[in-house]
Structure 1
Amino acid sequence: MDQNQTPSATITIDQNQTSSTTTTMDQNQTPSTTTTMDQNQTSSTSVVNPLILGLKPLIVPLVIRFITFIFLLVSLIVIATNSFDAFDIYGFPIKVESTDIHVYRYMISADVIGMAYILLLFVLTIFQVKSGSPIDGGLAYFEFYGDKVILFLLATGAAAGLGLTVEYNRLMDKDNTTEDIQNFINIANASASLLLLGSISSAISSVFSSLNLPKRSSS
């Protein structure tokens, strides 16, 4: 009887130890893996959410500013590369460029200053949203007054370029005007038209900054 009882007891103990060991290992491993995944997901979400939530109400103004930037960039490329060949008073060939004419030089300055302002505003807006602070105070006033100045600059640049083209076509005799000069004037007129479109979209941005100023400055 002693020989029959001993093996059964031994088998029972081994089974209990094996099952308890297996249960303990499974319980210890599963929560640790789940905790690590939850921490990684939470940290990545906490980094992305403030930037997305901060930029969400600014999507429309930023898109309008981006459209303005495209208009100014194309206008700058067109007017900066515009030129024609002519002859000086001694009969030597010369190349007349847009920078030789004061009106077109003013247009180029308006394009460059407008693009620089939009890029600066992009950087300041994204930096402030990424830092987690609301867009208010100094940036709101900078955007409000900056839009007014840039709108005036772009509008006057477009008016000067278009006005010069109209006066040239009115005063000059087209029979004595060379094809190169006429093409130069037409290209400059296209650049001024793009600048005018940029001033219109800048005016829309100015409306948004005016509407948002009371809300942001009081927050």
Structure 2
Amino acid sequence: MDQNQTPSTTTMDQTSTTTMNQNQTSSTSAVSPMMVGLKPLMKPLAIRAITFIFLFVSLIVIATDSFETSETLETLDEYDFTLNVKANVKSSDFSAYRYMISADAIGMAYTLLIVWLTISHVKSGSPIDSGLAYFEFYSDKVILFLLSTGAAAGLGLTVEFNRVTHKEIISDKQKFINMANASASLLLLGSISSFISSVVSSLNLPKRC
């Protein structure tokens, strides 16, 4: 009895082991293409994530930056009175800061678009084709120009504010200028990380075409 049961038991063990190996192999093969496709793209995607964070914080800072100012209207014609007028000055009231806001928003939208297109290609199992490679190559250069000029415009206007009004500046205006300067600095950091992404896309272009 024992001799007859031993071969059947061994056969059942081999069958179950084979089934488990097949299941593990199928599950590994299902996950493997996605992981293999994403692995060489992790560093470029991480750089773009850093760029997005810089631009997002820069946009929040500059979009919420404002200060209150008051103007005094003196005697008008025959009426002897003065009128104090208070106004809330926003960053969007200045063309340079509006350009910064536009650069932040466009840069963030482009970064999300590139990340989405890259992940979509990896999920579909198809390699990044020449169309996406050329789009990424040329658009990186345009976005880099936009971000760098936006940072230059913001920093330049901040320097002019400090140079012209440093003697009579009040605390609210100084806070406004400091916040704008911080936003422009973050935008500059975003343009630097965008430059790194541009270099990476330039190096990868011959491999993808």
TM-score above 0.5, yes or no: yes
Residue 25 of structure 1 and its aligned partner are, at CA, apart by: 4.3
Q: What TM-score comes out, normalization by structure 2 length?
A: 0.87
Larger deviation, residues 185-194 vs 86-95: 86-95
SS in structure 2 at match of 1:71: helix
Name which of 111, 125, 129 aligns with 1:136. 129
Residue 120 of structure 1 and its aligned partner are, at CA, apart by: 1.1
Show the 5 A alignment for 1:1-219: 15=1, 19-20=3-4, 22-23=5-6, 25-87=8-70, 91-172=84-165, 174-217=166-209
The one-letter code matched in structure 2 to 1:58 is L
Q: What TM-score comes out, normalization by structure 1 length?
A: 0.83
The one-letter code matched in structure 2 to 1:146 is S
The one-letter code matched in structure 1 to 2:129 is D
C-alpha separation in 1, matches of 2:157 and 2:182: 12
C-alpha separation in 2, matches of 1:35 and 1:98: 68
C-alpha separation in 2, matches of 1:32 and 1:97: 74
1:137-188 Cα deviation digits (max 9, x unpaired)? 111011101101100110110011011011122222x232211011101110
Q: Flag structure 1 segments of 5+ consecutive residues without an equivalent.
A: 1-14
C-alpha separation in 2, matches of 1:126 and 1:132: 10
SS in structure 1 at match of 2:67: strand
1:32-84 Cα deviation digits (max 9, x unpaired)? 32233112211221122212222222232222212211111111121122111
C-alpha separation in 1, matches of 2:185 and 2:71: 30
C-alpha separation in 1, matches of 2:145 and 2:101: 15
SS in structure 2 at match of 1:79: helix
Instruction: Call closer, same or farther: CA 1:33–1:91 in 2, change over 3 Å.
Output: farther
Instruction: Call closer, same or farther: CA 1:33–1:92 in 2, change over 3 Å.
Output: farther
Q: Flag structure 2 segments of 5+ consecutive residues without an equivalent.
A: 73-82
Residue 28 of structure 1 and its aligned partner are, at CA, apart by: 4.5
